[in-house]
Amino acid sequence: MPAARAVSRPAAEVIEGIRTAIDGLRGWARAPRLMLLGVIPGAIVAVLFGAALTVLVVNLGAIGEAVAEALGARDGWLASLVSVTASVAVLAASSLVAVALFATLTLAIGGPFFEAMSRRVDGDLEAAPEEPWWPALRRGLAEALVTVAISLGVSLVLLLVGLLPVVGSATAFTVGALVGGRLLAIELTAYPMARRGVVARRDRVRALKPYRLRVIAFGALIFLLFLLPLGAVLAMPAAVVGATLLVRRLPDDSLRTV
């Protein structure tokens, strides 16, 4: 009998996804100057987002109280419970949309920065022919709309789930992190995938599907980092590095059937 039980395939995939995200964060130690360049686009977007997020956070209590009153809970512990539950549900739902928007806008604004970072991680890879700028921009904007539309739809479902007493908030937050992480990973892998000839979003999704748990684990950890104060700004360049490592570590034949 072996001394230690072998790690199951699903567990190994999750561990690999987390390890890849951590390796991306180590980029700050390996190439701090390059990573600092990647902070600039995120900082610009963060300024634009700052006011809206501040307004939301300041008014979370009032939003929760309004929902509680609308549901008929106006006084006592029930009103407090419904108010807090509604506030957390709104925060979980809005976080999914905020992260998706932040990643999309930051990748669009900082395209040259992040492409250079990703290319450096890929080293001497023989890249596929580059897509012309204008078609690439149009495709990127169309894909961004798909990501935002999905996140909006899921956020509405999470808002309803989050209103369930006790378990609703935790469930909404967990599902939001998992779904948001997957959407985030699909966006972040655009550069290294395109370098390998996988350009369209639907083709990226198809290529990553066999490694769903790895992708979700990677994206969920990045998603949680994005929720920390200044986390999105500082973690964005590391997320691009990690996404490139994620693609590099896929089996050699994983993209041939796309």
pLDDT in tens, 120-133: 888 866 666 666 66
pLDDT tens per residue, range 206-229 = 999 999 999 999 999 999 999 888
56-95 pLDDT, tens digit each: 778 877 877 787 777 766 666 767 777 778 888 888 888 8
- Cα–Cα separations (whole angstroms), residue 31 to 123, 162, 243: 14, 41, 16
Position 182 confidence tier, pLDDT thresholds 50, 70, 90: very high
Question: Residue 6, class by beta-carbon neighbours within 10 Å (0-12 exposed, 13-18 middle, 19+ buried)?
Answer: exposed
Q: How many CA atoms lie within 13 A of 250 on its CB side?
A: 24
For residues 105-133, give the mean pLDDT. Answer: 78
Does the predicted model carry a pTM greater than 0.95?
A: no
List, for residues 156-173, the tens digit of each pLDDT value: 888 888 877 767 888 888
CA atoms within 13 A on the CB side of 237: 29
Residue 225 near residue 219 (C-beta atoms within 8 A) = no
Mean pLDDT score of the chain, rounded to an integer? 84
Percent of the chain with pLDDT over 70: 86
